[in-house]
Structure 1
């Protein structure tokens, strides 16, 4: 069954903020601070507030007032969605008892158990949940940095970057060249770059059919590779040129001023260049001292960090084992974490950790594919139990049903996250 999409609109007047340590302490409740309002953080905050029935003081720190989902942002590029379709506010969380603070978390004092905000406030916690998503590794792509993101967008944090890349696509000259620099493993949403190639190809086929797409990839293979390549051959024949590791896809530099991409010594003039660099955990995880370099190692049973049992890391930022970095994964991990944190603070029942993930991708109109698995917590990691994946050669009816399933999931997960 396909569910209808719903939007949840909140006003700033509905949002309560906890900005004073004495006020919080006077309530006599255990305090949880959640940093990051995406699929992991928003879900954890909502479940803690809902399931504790007000017994835990939950504060969500999130700088943006509107959250744009990275999942489905490629469908916006392809023309299947409007930007408003992937934008969501935090009013539902506030109405559900979460104290929503719109500010940047800029530091963590684990000894004092406080989170420092850019506005100058220090927020105390008994348990801290970090779900900051990703940042980019400096110097990962020769010639590219954040100062070049307007010329060569990454669009891997949805919102303004998505709108910029869409505008650049729309402005491409007839017969122009779109280039993508794909990221090395591990990174957010393994099928994401290749769904993006599909959606860009879909847009160009309709609006600029003689345009070309070049993909420089440092990997020898990628998620759902046979499914995407089948789809590109069926829907966009001759448009997509994927250059993998074996053909120099990892030897890449860019010149944003000249709008050139050099792959294994061969320079190409391009009209649009989407650079998706190597990734690491969001900055606040590093500032909290819970990363091992790029990612935050966690315990599979409850998502607590290896560095501090009172600090938890969810979603893309976590190094947890076999689960991919995806919105579905973050949402699944958040429920396990919220149950464990509530149990630790209130003595409520803690259930054994079980995890699941599915990643849907749209290749063309009504041509959806998916991959997924279930997982369990082991002493070493989150371990895969079993999995599934779409097959090449599937019927058009099955592919359409898979796409409709993804639409229902989107409505379900955004409601589950944000109320």
Structure 2
């Protein structure tokens, strides 16, 4: 870890009054000889896997680190909704593994994992390779449960009603559909139930499209149907909708806010509408042929439908026996070691991390903590007390930024949030809001570099 990152982490923990002076110096120590040359295999080259590989080599260049990844280029999910409103391109989502290989000496095997032997500590691939490890890190990501709604399937998502929550061809299809939607058409987005990847993301997406439609399709309608009654950053996000798109906040939200917060009541509501679970917003059925979506409140005719279905851990986690009956991976909270398989650590969206969200930032900080813990344990030393961070940036509009930021530690065996202030203040000035949008754009670049460069 660089001195810059270390001091920032120390400062965050110290500001919460919870820094362990005895623990943190261990992060900067040189590992003992017994850890040198250890073989670390990482399955999955997303944010979690890439970060783990990079920081393992930073902490101890002698480690033999191999990443098994089926794709030769990573397509980043964070920021991918900006393809839909033409603020970014599909090509800009592509991230190379070249720097990890050339700069840090990470070995890559582009193949598909088919199984492993936890006793022999080997991983097998579809290409008939067998890799031996001292420790295995698995960063499985998520899989989408397309069949959670009647009439919906991966085939329907690939051809008519895309999800695009795992970026790729469906993202490009959704962008084409939205940008080509008829004048006055209706765009419906089905938000996911908890837990899901990227807490503010499903609500940023329709906001960005509302902004785009106001310029290119001003009579369009945008409807969010939702099985939930609230979401992370909901107050700050809806204030953005209120100020930018004439969205009227639900009465219960208005009552919960301070009277000092400026909320406009629009006689003529704008094009954006949110149907909560309590109002019948839970999705039930999708008809890709007739372009309808049925929710508990009734059937909506649409021109473009975007479904973000329920999720669980990526299939490789299930294949390797790392997931529980609920589809997520239980771990030891201090080092993210699997509680189901020995010598395996599971990081990122697939892990059960209590108060930590399923986000790219969370995966990045989990990877760093797990990497350090692995090195210390291989060297025969106890790992230091872990702290984690998370920041999720989001946009209500191109120049309207917001965020949620947290610090976590283990409390009574669970990962708990230890900070109080979390969000952009509701009374933030216009300049602060615009600055938050600039931070979001800068973060996309610097965060990607931290993981992959």
CA 1:307–1:379 in structure 2 vs 1: closer, same or farther (change >3 Å)?
farther
Alignment correspondent of 1:339:
372
SS in 2 for 1:336: helix
Deviations 1:30-72 (A, max 9, x none): 211111111111000111122211x211111111122121111
- The within-5 A match list for 1:104-123 is 104-123=112-131
Distance 1:379 1:334 in 2: 22
Q: Is the 8 A contact 1:300 1:379 kept in 2?
A: no
What TM-score, normalized to structure 1?
0.90
Distance 1:110 1:64 in 2: 25
Q: Does 1:214 align with 2:247?
A: no
Alignment correspondent of 2:94:
87
Structure 1 ranges of 4+ moved more than 3 A: 346-350
Q: Does 1:418 align with 2:452?
A: yes
Q: Does 1:404 align with 2:411?
A: no
Q: Does 1:286 align with 2:318?
A: yes
Q: Is the 8 A contact 2:283 2:293 kept in 1?
A: no
Distance 1:164 1:89 in 2: 23
- The within-5 A match list for 1:110-189 is 110-137=118-145, 139-150=147-158, 151-189=160-198
Distance 2:56 2:380 in 1: 13
Which residue of 330, 334, 339 corresponds with 1:297? 330
Distance 1:195 1:126 in 2: 41
Alignment correspondent of 1:376:
409
Distance 1:378 1:61 in 2: 34
SS in 1 for 2:419: strand
Distance 2:86 2:428 in 1: 24
Query: Following TM superposition, by how much is the alpha carbon of 1:347 offset from its aligned partner in structure 2, in angstroms?
Result: 4.6
Q: Does 1:77 align with 2:84?
A: yes
Q: Is the 8 A contact 1:68 1:159 kept in 2?
A: yes
Distance 1:118 1:395 in 2: 55
Deviations 1:116-170 (A, max 9, x none): 2122222221111111110023521221111111211111112322212111111
CA 1:51–1:325 in structure 2 vs 1: closer, same or farther (change >3 Å)?
same
Alignment correspondent of 1:20:
none
Provide the aligned C-alpha RMSD in A. Answer: 1.6
Number of matched residues?
391
Query: Following TM superposition, by how much is the alpha carbon of 1:217 offset from its aligned partner in structure 2, in angstroms?
Result: 0.4
Deviations 1:91-122 (A, max 9, x none): 01111111111112222222222222122222
Bigger Rg, structure 1 or 2: 2
Unaligned runs of 5+ in 1: 1-27
Alignment correspondent of 1:65:
72
Unaligned runs of 5+ in 2: 1-35, 247-269
SS in 1 for 2:84: helix
Which residue of 202, 206, 209 corresponds with 1:197? 206
